[in-house]
Amino acid sequence: MNAVLHSLGSLSGFLVRGFGLTMLVSLATVAQAVDLIFSGGPVITLDRGDRVAEALAVDEGRIVAVGSLAEVSVFATDATRHIDLAGKALLPGFVDSHSHANFIGLQAMSANLLPAPDGEGNSIGALQRVLREYIDSEPLLTESVGWVVGFGYDDSQLAEQRHPTRQDLDAVSTDVPIVIIHQSGHLGVANTLGLKLSGVGPDTPDPDGGAFRREADGRQPNGVAEEYAFFRLLFAALAKVDADMQERMLVAGVKSMASFGYTTAQEGRASPETMGAMSRVAARDVLPIDLVAYPDMLMVDEGFSPSRQYHNRYRVGGVKLTIDGSPQGKTAWLSEPYHVPPLGQDDSYAGYAAITSDVVNASVLKAWANDWQILVHANGDAAIDALIGAVAEAQKAHPQVDNRPVLIHGQTLREDQVDALKTLGIFPSLFPMHTFYWGDWHRDSVLGAQRAEHISPTGWLRERNMIFGSHHDAPVALPNSMRVLSATVTRRTRSGQVLGTQHRVDVATGLRAMTIWPAWQHFEEDDKGTLEVGKLADLVVLSRNPLAVDPETLVDIGVMATYKEGILVYDGDAQR
């Protein structure tokens, strides 16, 4: 930062915020040159006044002026670099409310089995073709681990309206083990060789919190595995991932996030191995954007100590607990049965918990006892009930703790549960993008029309003046920021219908759910989330102003550039 502002420190930031740009401009006569000035397009601050400015100045990674071009130009000298937005929009960099940065890298290195519009996986035949082409390409991941890995198939989008089976994958290859991962990340399928190498056969029992789906004889696994049963297949497939490959996946995932305008990424359920990879990558100082990690609560060692401070753009923010599965995979834990039960289940089937209530209560209490922030995956309303009960008890035991607990997904939130979240101070990180990817499936098969209307009920939150995060949960979906914004605002399904009109929000609210509100979620609201003097110059350039377009066209807006603390970390023009 320039010499004057540096010497004034926090006082100057206070004066500028309290009394406006005039105080800052008055210092310009003795200030050194700023590094960058952006102008030529709308500067969308998302501050409390909803200002749209003409220009923004950056020096040593922080914003030092926001205002009219004339006001900001006072800071320019011959050494200042001017960036002409050419009509494009400048916004705060997006803050990831929830995803899995490491597995985004796995997705990038795997066979792309996603259905349209993100891939070609709309039939089992198409999945088989993509897998064969992937094998023929001699992929680095297969060379490293000895397995073929595919990511993103979705039974709800397949023409056959079913999961692939081991026989379907055997038709691709019987010579190499194959595992394909459901788009939810909570289910998967292995071929016969993959099952064998995972130690799964007719006599293999279902694990707690998971299930191997069986063939007609009720014994032989058909290749499809849910939750902890699926994790057995995945761990076998990735057992030979070495340190180098782990680090490659992590860096690839973080770079993918930056390409969609994110300047803060999250690893929302880290294993000890992933934690090691993140620490090594951070030690090499190669992370282009900030990365905050939340290790799995059930894998945390004694002496665990989260931090609010980044080291080489990396920190450990708290812990993650997972109570249930996914609604689209029909493993989320509901209080009422699924509209159409999955194959092999009767009409009373309502999903299941991945962990016991004792584990939920003890884990949440431990987080409060240690003043750890805790993120809790709870999709079904029965799982959300378990979270609410556990938090209420933990707060009674430790009323002085303010750790900003986070509900992850919360897709089947009931209205009475929204009231409980507000009372307990639980931050909801919701998943409105489901309305696009699986809205029709939720309505027709998962929940039925009435419950599906209220999936990710952002309208109920805003009626109560509650803030929330809107996430993509990549690699469940691509970390497509504009798809997140579009779905949060329009709630359009793949078929073009609106799912839950009362839960639509305006564009500014949708943007806040991707910037300042998740910054608050991460205890970083003083540094990120709005374009204000003193904050980090974490910026994204969009092809159009999202506040000025037809909301139905939000998804067509492109990410043109991403800046982390004033440094260009993604150049969209260079990728074209």
Contact of 460 with 175, CB cutoff 8 Å? no
- What per-residue confidence (pLDDT) applies to 171? 98
Contact of 368 with 401, CB cutoff 8 Å? yes
Residue 21 reports pLDDT greater than 80? no
Residue 38: strand pairing partners:
56, 83
Q: Which run of H or of E encompasses 361?
A: helix 357-369
| Backbone phi, psi, residue 304, to 5° | -60, 135
Q: What is the percent of the chain where pLDDT is above 70?
A: 94
Q: What is the pLDDT of residues 101-146, one digit of tens each?
A: 998 988 889 999 999 999 999 999 999 999 999 999 999 999 999 9
**Predicted structure pTM score:** 0.89
Residue 362 reports pLDDT greater than 90? yes
Q: Is 340 helix (H, G, I), strand (E, B) or coil?
A: coil
- What per-residue confidence (pLDDT) applies to 190? 98
- What per-residue confidence (pLDDT) applies to 32? 61
Which residue, among 570, 568, 575, 546, has the nearest Cα to 257 in the 3D structure?
570
Contacts of 439 (CB under 8 A, 6+ apart): 452, 455, 491, 492, 493, 494, 497, 499
Which residue, among 85, 88, 90, has the nearest Cα to 44 in the 3D structure?
90
Q: What is the pLDDT of residues 189-206, one digit of tens each?
A: 999 999 999 999 999 999
Identity of the amino acid at 161: Q
Give the integer Cα–Cα distance in Å for 122 and 384.
32
Residue 8 reports pLDDT greater than 80? no
Give the integer Cα–Cα distance in Å for 361 and 378.
14
Exposure string (b/e) for 146-181, b if CB count within 10 Å is 16 or more? ebbbbbbbbbbbbeeeebbbbebbebbbeeebbbbb
Residue 254 reports pLDDT greater than 90? yes
Residue 19 reports pLDDT greater than 90? no
Identity of the amino acid at 549: V
Whole-Å CA distances, 306 to 310, 319, 370, 416: 11, 8, 10, 32
Give the integer Cα–Cα distance in Å for 169 and 293.
34
- What per-residue confidence (pLDDT) applies to 574? 79
Q: Is the model more confident about 478 or about 489?
A: 489
Whole-Å CA distances, 575 to 286, 397, 557: 20, 53, 16
Q: What is the pLDDT of residues 167-179, one digit of tens each?
A: 999 999 999 999 9
Give the integer Cα–Cα distance in Å for 355 and 333.
11
| Backbone phi, psi, residue 33, to 5° | -65, 145
Task: List, in order of start, the domains of the chain with CATH numbers.
Answer: 120-237 (3.10.310.70), 247-569 (3.20.20.140)
- What per-residue confidence (pLDDT) applies to 576? 57
- What per-residue confidence (pLDDT) applies to 22? 34
Over residues 522-528, mean pLDDT: 98
Q: Report the phi/psi class of residue 227: left, alpha or beta, with left for phi > 0 and alpha for psi in -120 to 50.
A: left
- What per-residue confidence (pLDDT) applies to 421? 98
- What per-residue confidence (pLDDT) applies to 302? 79
- What per-residue confidence (pLDDT) applies to 383? 98
Over residues 326-339, mean pLDDT: 96
What's the order of all strands across the beta sheet hosting 314-316?
Answer: 94-95, 262-270, 290-295, 314-316
Q: What is the percent of the chain where pLDDT is above 90?
A: 90
- What per-residue confidence (pLDDT) applies to 301? 86
Contact of 357 with 253, CB cutoff 8 Å? no
Q: Report the phi/psi class of residue 60: left, alpha or beta, with left for phi > 0 and alpha for psi in -120 to 50.
A: left
Over residues 311-332, mean pLDDT: 96
Q: How many CA atoms lie within 13 A of 58 on its CB side?
A: 25
Q: Is 211 helix (H, G, I), strand (E, B) or coil?
A: strand
Q: Is 454 helix (H, G, I), strand (E, B) or coil?
A: coil
Identity of the amino acid at 210: G
Residue 18 reports pLDDT greater than 90? no
- What per-residue confidence (pLDDT) applies to 4? 29
Give the integer Cα–Cα distance in Å for 566 and 38.
10
